[in-house]
Amino acid sequence: MRLTGVSRPAPLSALTARTTGHPDVVVGVVDGAVDPGHPDLALQPVRFVGAPVPARNPGAPPGHGTLVVSSLAARPTAPTPGVCPGCSFVVRPVPGVDVPPASPADLADALADVVAAGARVVNLSLALERLPVAGPAADPGIGLLLDAVELARRHGALVVAAAGNDGGLGGPPLVRHPWVIPVVACDDGGRPLPTSTLGRAIGRHGLTAPALSRGLSGTSAAAPVVTGAVALLWSLFPGARAAAVRDAVTRPRPPARRTSVVPPPLDAAYAYDVLRDLSVPG
């Protein structure tokens, strides 16, 4: 289904001009509490798994989880449509506040739940609890979380994660896993925001993307742009393997090369070309 006459992030125009997404592509979202009654999500194919998280008080502004889900799933006729509203969505709230610093064990459980529910791409626009040591010695839950990422890899599900907003270098163990696509937020000129976390692993297998203007900010708002791009690519190339989609969306357009700590910008048009060429019989 083509979609015209609505606003979309410019880096996605090569995809959103062709499709709003296909219902066979299931997008997983792990975040805070989500209001299923939000008007932008009315009649959208959003289902929930896992233990429920208490919703916000009636009349309160939408929380972080609701904004993240809406940025992807909001109906095409909403004032600001979602990036891929034609896809299906499975949401797994985690315990915590509106912008939850999730424990590694809770995040591991949530990631495993959405993968088991059929998610082909999972959006993680949240942070891990700060630990004194970045490894299983500090919290065995980190090992569980990395195991959950491996589970996603074995099931052919891509994992897109916000790189973080502490303005430092390195990032948590999650974004250093080679199967995870960490996302750095950039300004309109493509320059990383000063608050975005950078690092060698982030530069090696991540992307920069603009933040969606939907009440979100930083890498939490940029990650759904990449998640939506993956979902739209899979909608257009349903037979593509996960590794091929991941390679296409993260590969810099020649002659650009990756730098040491800053990832290249999302280039949906080039990703489309890469997958189209793979799909053409040789």
pLDDT computed for residue 171 by the predictor: 81
The pLDDT tens digits for 43-98 are 899 999 986 666 556 667 788 889 999 999 999 999 889 999 999 999 999 876 45
Cβ neighbors of 50 (< 8 A, separation 6 or more) are 92, 93, 109, 110, 113
Higher-confidence residue of 218 and 154: namely 154
pLDDT computed for residue 3 by the predictor: 34
- Mean of the pLDDT values across residues 160-179? 89
Q: Write the DSSP string, 39-90.
A: GGGTT--EEE-SS--PPPPTTSPP-HHHHHHHHHH--TTSSS--SSTTSEEE
